[in-house]
Amino acid sequence: MTRFTDRPDSTPDAPRPVQLRSALDELPSYRPGRPAPASGERPAFKVSSNENPYPPLPGVVEAAVSAAAEMNRYPDMFASGLVAVLADRLGVPPEHLATGTGSVGVLQQIVQATTGEGDEVVYAWRSFEAYPIVVGISGARSVRVPLAPGARHDLDAMAAAVTDRTRLVLVCSPNNPTGPVVGHDELAAFVRRVPEDVLVVVDEAYREFVRDPDGADGLALYREHPNVCVLRTFSKAYGLAGLRVGYAVAHERVADALRKTAVPFGVSGVAQRAAVESLAHEDALLERVEALVAERTRVREALLSQGWDVPVTHANFVWLALGERTTDFAAHCEAHGLVVRPFAGEGCRVTIGEQEANDRFIQLASDWP
């Protein structure tokens, strides 16, 4: 009998490491926002992950708890209850919806459905930090197009970056972490320039916070173009970040592919029911979003009057392009109980949170030399 330790190629003192795909070697790991540190008398605030500071909408916890009583069963695999409500609201056929574990989960489904080794994915940079990770895992190559002045997408340069290896283009509007939206007309012109067999994803994670009437309307473009897909989430405005539920609106061929590449039963029954219940409380949702938008205006104006250069923002955060001083500023904030999100060498993203957190941020920004 052969014991596996007897294999001729095994050396007892130098076990060979498990073979992993080389695509993972250069992949950055996703870094979650640091939790707020325990600080003496004053409460500390985590404004590093663009979370909603409000608790879940009315009735949502109750709906989630009642769904939790059925956790011995697998959930509805295609979230058909949630899909029916969304299809009705958005005026799209239910077959055009695909759900996933947060919109990052859906994005992973999209990348798996469209790309493989050697293919190219075009997106702006800096943009959402999950993009290079999700693209890298598939073995595809990220083609990053630098932002234009004002921290906006440079759609001309992005169109020029599309080659015959391009399978996917990601457009983040409003852009995380800088804040500006992509204009509707410029995006429409861009989509006309992209080959019709290349999928264009409009990531609208912050759409509820947009107040620019000229901002891109991904759904309108999806209605006109079979190669446009819209990505949305319950994590930000709806405050369900911890439950992991997001969706894509796409034409049937694409939506079908996204259902195929989904983790089976990934969206829990608790998440499905909480999302349905959240959709039933639009007025409360809009009130909260409106209050956050008002706070966003207050914070940005305070920073501008302190002399900071802050890009226009239509999301629930502001961007300070601090360059080399980024990590020092983040440390200064953290020392005073405010955890922001530094991108070393570039800038800090600060989420609009509860009023007290925003007040503290304004004060810390003003104290900064």
Ligand X SMILES: *Cc1c(COP(=O)(O)O)cnc(C)c1O
CB of 205 vs ligand X, minimal distance in Å: 4
Residue closer to ligand X (CB basis): 110 or 330: 110
CB of 351 vs ligand X, minimal distance in Å: 10
Residue closer to ligand X (CB basis): 235 or 326: 235
Residue pair 346/321 in contact (Cβ under 8 Å)? The answer is: yes
Residue pair 268/274 in contact (Cβ under 8 Å)? The answer is: no
CB of 74 vs ligand X, minimal distance in Å: 22
Which of 45, 54, 123, 128 lies at the binding interface for ligand X (CB under 6 A)? 128
Which of 203, 277, 295, 334 lies at the binding interface for ligand X (CB under 6 A)? 203
User: Angle CA(113)–CA(118)–CA(119) in degrees, nearest 5?
Assistant: 45
243 touching ligand X, by CB under 6 A:
no
Phi, psi at residue 227, to the nearest 5°? Answer: -100, 15
Residue 318: exposure state from Cβ atoms within 10 A (0-12, 13-18, ≥19): buried
As a whole number of angstroms, the distance between CA 369 and CA 174 comes to 30
102 touching ligand X, by CB under 6 A:
yes
The residues in 291-320 that bind ligand X, with binding defined as CB under 6 A, are none
Which of 138, 235, 272, 313 lies at the binding interface for ligand X (CB under 6 A)? 235
Residue closer to ligand X (CB basis): 83 or 302: 83
Number of residues that bind ligand X (CB under 6 A): 14
Spatial CA neighbour of 130 closest among 161, 188, 176:
176
Residue closer to ligand X (CB basis): 103 or 114: 103
Which tokens sit at 79? Answer: 């979230």
Phi, psi at residue 110, to the nearest 5°? Answer: -65, -45
Phi, psi at residue 71, to the nearest 5°? Answer: -75, -5
246 touching ligand X, by CB under 6 A:
yes
Which of 162, 172, 303, 339 lies at the binding interface for ligand X (CB under 6 A)? 172
As a whole number of angstroms, the distance between CA 246 and CA 231 comes to 8
3-state secondary structure of 166: strand
103 touching ligand X, by CB under 6 A:
yes
Q: Which helix (H) or strand (E) holds 103?
A: helix 102-114
CB of 134 vs ligand X, minimal distance in Å: 10
Place of tokens 């001729």: 8
Sign of the C-alpha dihedral, residues 63, 66, 69, 75?
Answer: negative
Residue of minimal Cβ distance to ligand X: 102
Stretch that binds ligand X, among 228-236, 251-259, 266-274, 292-300 (CB under 6 A): 228-236
Residue closer to ligand X (CB basis): 104 or 276: 104
218 touching ligand X, by CB under 6 A:
no
353 touching ligand X, by CB under 6 A:
no
Stretch that binds ligand X, among 71-79, 96-104, 154-162, 290-298 (CB under 6 A): 96-104
CB of 72 vs ligand X, minimal distance in Å: 26
205 touching ligand X, by CB under 6 A:
yes
123 touching ligand X, by CB under 6 A:
no
Burial call 211-225: b when 16+ CB within 10 Å, e when fewer = eeeebbbbbebbeeb
DSSP 8-state class, residue 76: -
Residue closer to ligand X (CB basis): 128 or 319: 128
138 touching ligand X, by CB under 6 A:
no
Spatial CA neighbour of 275 closest among 249, 231, 237:
237
Number of other CB atoms surrounding residue 80 within 10 Å: 14
Stretch that binds ligand X, among 100-108, 267-275, 324-332, 344-352 (CB under 6 A): 100-108
Place of tokens 């209605």: 223
Place of tokens 């207050």: 298
List interacting residues with ligand X (CB under 6 A): 50, 102-104, 128, 172, 176, 203, 205, 233, 235-236, 241, 246
